[in-house]
Amino acid sequence: VVFGTGENGPLGGPLTGDDIFIAKIESWNPVGVPKVNPTDTQPLRIYPNPTNDTVEVTIPAGATKGTLSVATPSGHIVHSQAVMANGEITLSAARWPTGLLIVSLTTPDRVFTTKLIKN
């Protein structure tokens, strides 16, 4: 880590060779997302995967209200619909672009996401 008392430092003014200090960090306590226990999550299941024309999406138990969307990796939404109950939904994939697609179910509490390959 480099600290300076110049332009980017606490004292202002231009940096010179005499104004730079290097500190070695001995202890590191990173901040981030806590570990997710895989047994605590229910996946969004899709089959067949890869698909050609239709795909079955299994909505996880407890996810009774939300929005199901299918998007390209660049974020272009190719399908979106409201979901009011868990169970299975059949979607027509015939007009979707080929390649990798991201399927997401957004509920008030969680977001379930999985990948789908369209042939």
User: One digit per residue, pLDDT tens: the chain, 119 residues?
Assistant: 455 554 555 555 555 656 665 666 566 555 554 444 444 456 789 999 999 999 999 988 877 789 999 999 999 999 999 998 878 999 999 999 999 999 999 888 888 899 999 99
Q: Is residue 1 located within the same domain as residue 47?
A: no
Q: Is residue 76 located within the same domain as residue 23?
A: no
Dist CA 103 CA 106 (whole Å): 10
Q: Which residues constitute the domain of residue 28?
A: 1-32
pLDDT for 85: 82
Q: Is residue 2 located within the same domain as residue 21?
A: yes
Q: Is residue 50 located within the same domain as residue 4?
A: no
Sign of CA dihedral 56, 60, 66, 67: negative
pLDDT for 24: 66
Q: Is residue 55 located within the same domain as residue 5?
A: no
Q: Is residue 44 located within the same domain as residue 87?
A: yes
The total number of structural domains in the chain stands at 2
Q: Is residue 2 located within the same domain as residue 50?
A: no
